[in-house]
Amino acid sequence: MKIEVQRIMKHNQSKLIRTQTERTPEGEHATPLFLTSSFCFDDAEDMRAAFADETDDNIYSRFSNPNVKEFVDRLCILENAEAGFATASGMSAVFGSFMALLKKGDHLLSCNSVFGSTHTVISKYLPKYGIEYGYVSANATAAEWEAAIQPNTKMIYLETPTNPGLDVVDITMVSAIAKKHNIILNVDNCFATPIGQTPIELGADLVIHSATKWIDGQGRVLGGAIVGSKELIKEIYTFCRSTGPSLSPFNAWVLSKSLETLEVRMERHCSNALYLAEKLEGHAKINFVKYPFLTSHPHYAIAKKQMKNGGGIVCFEIKGGIEAGRKFLNSLKMLSLTANLGDTRSIASHPASTTHAKLSEEERQATSITPGLIRISVGLEHREDILADILQALEA
């Protein structure tokens, strides 16, 4: 980006849109696709220097690619991060951030309410590499977080808001504890997006995204990203460059364009979600509604302190448990039943019988997943139509 253009832009949204791959001699306005596995050099010396990391020249798309770089650069602007690395999926970002920075004998401390696949990685696979783990309630106090830290704790990992229970963890509080003990704080920001909160500004060292969700926003491609300090990202890049969870240039091109509209899309997602939450609260067939910006949310004060909006997810507990939850899904006419969220189209899911079915009843209860809990990813349809479909399904 030209220096004179940078000077007139005060807002990250403008900087993001105007951060692009350098134009080719064709003079294109939109960034072209660089669908290539490798890149050529003018001579042997240029090639040697690239492999010696003396230059930033592209070598191989498993290492770097112009489309991937543009996506990462734009996400770093939104998250106020120094550097980043893009991966093939959100879960490869989670796994890469663990394996690049943890070793045998280390301890990972996580909030207990995390995505089901993340729980599997932490509890089933990290121990195979000699990495210990511990869980703390998403509702834990500072004293409880502090008490859970071990002498070998090297990383704290958390989601906020959590998936799917929408608990909100105080990032500033946990960050202060992490810094006191020289521990890396790694925050999954998928649900809030950088439009809703910026964990690095609150003290996080790393931020994880499943770009498949709100960043893509239309259910088209898979992708993930890790952003944070240059020092930590360098370690993650070295690990991922060798192990290969790289993002495809095509998916990066799609996701980079999606970032241009993330702010305006999230405004609609969040306003629809708040409207839905307010209308459903107090319904005769619902025990409770959970949304970070409802005053009834147990962590409302924390959410208002660290979030710019309440996000695009609404949860509610249907009276009647698991069977009532299944009947509700079967009665929906417009909302989609699919293993995704963050789409333009509203999506309903029943975690107790799907994404978190492998957890024990005790584990589900500990992570705010009650038998009749319904998670709604609120889309961009007219809010009255979304509400009408949910209401008729509740009556059915």
What CATH number is attached to the domain comprising 156? Answer: 3.40.640.10
Residue 181, amino acid: H
122 contacts 273 by C-beta, under 8 angstroms: no
Do 252 and 160 sit in the same domain of this protein?
Answer: yes
Do 267 and 252 sit in the same domain of this protein?
Answer: no
Burial readout 201-232 (b: 16 or more C-beta within 10 A, e: otherwise) = ebbbbbbbbbbbbbbbbebebbbbbbbbeeeb
Type and span of the H or E element at 12:
helix 12-18
The parent domain of residue 370 ranges over 262-395
Do 276 and 177 sit in the same domain of this protein?
Answer: no
In angstroms, rounded to a whole number, what is the distance separating the alpha carbons of residues 14 and 21? 15
Count CB atoms within 10 A of the CB of residue 87. Answer: 28
In angstroms, rounded to a whole number, what is the distance separating the alpha carbons of residues 368 and 365? 5
Per-residue model confidence (pLDDT) at position 356: 65
| Among candidate residues 193, 225, 258, the one where a domain is terminated | 258
**Nearest one of 67, 124, 128, 121 to 94, comparing CA atoms:** 121
The residues, any chain, with a CB within 8 Å of residue 8's CB and separated by 6 or more, are none
User: CA-based angle 281:294:118, to the nearest 5?
Assistant: 100
Do 112 and 226 sit in the same domain of this protein?
Answer: yes
Say whether 33 sits in a helix, a strand or coil.
coil
Say whether 373 sits in a helix, a strand or coil.
strand
| Among candidate residues 209, 227, 258, the one where a domain is terminated | 258
Count CB atoms within 10 A of the CB of residue 363. Answer: 15
Strand 313-318 versus strand 132-136 pairing type: unpaired
pTM of the full predicted structure?
A: 0.94
Residue 333, amino acid: K
| 115 exposure class (CB count in 10 Å sphere: 0-12, 13-18, 19+) | buried
Do 62 and 28 sit in the same domain of this protein?
Answer: yes
Question: E-assigned strands of the chain?
Answer: 83-87, 107-111, 132-136, 153-159, 184-188, 206-210, 224-228, 286-290, 313-318, 347-349, 373-377
Cα–chain-centroid distance for residue 310? 15
Do 123 and 7 sit in the same domain of this protein?
Answer: yes
| Among candidate residues 258, 293, 327, the one where a domain is terminated | 258
In angstroms, rounded to a whole number, what is the distance separating the alpha carbons of residues 44 and 118? 44
Per-residue tokens: 3 = 């220096």
| 2 exposure class (CB count in 10 Å sphere: 0-12, 13-18, 19+) | exposed
Do 198 and 177 sit in the same domain of this protein?
Answer: yes
209 contacts 247 by C-beta, under 8 angstroms: no
How many residues are there in the chain? 396
Do 225 and 349 sit in the same domain of this protein?
Answer: no
Say whether 326 sits in a helix, a strand or coil.
helix
Per-residue model confidence (pLDDT) at position 10: 83
Do 368 and 287 sit in the same domain of this protein?
Answer: yes
Do 249 and 276 sit in the same domain of this protein?
Answer: no
Per-residue model confidence (pLDDT) at position 7: 65
Say whether 157 sits in a helix, a strand or coil.
strand
| Tens-binned pLDDT, residue by residue, of the chain (396 aa) | 554 456 678 889 899 899 999 999 999 999 999 999 999 999 999 999 999 999 999 999 999 999 999 999 999 999 999 999 999 999 999 999 999 999 999 999 999 999 989 999 999 999 999 999 999 999 999 999 999 999 999 999 999 999 988 999 999 999 999 999 999 999 999 999 999 999 999 999 999 999 999 999 999 999 999 999 999 999 999 999 999 999 999 999 999 999 999 999 999 999 999 999 999 999 999 999 999 999 999 999 999 999 999 999 999 999 998 889 889 999 999 999 998 999 999 999 988 776 666 667 677 666 677 888 999 999 999 999 999 999 999 999
Cα dist. 89→95, 112, 213, 245 in Å? 10, 22, 10, 8
Do 165 and 243 sit in the same domain of this protein?
Answer: yes
What CATH number is attached to the domain comprising 372? Answer: 3.90.1150.10
DSSP string over 36-69: -SB---SSHHHHHHHHTTSS----BTTT--HHHH
Q: List 210's β-bridge partners, or say none.
A: 224
Do 308 and 222 sit in the same domain of this protein?
Answer: no
Q: How many domains, the chain?
A: 2
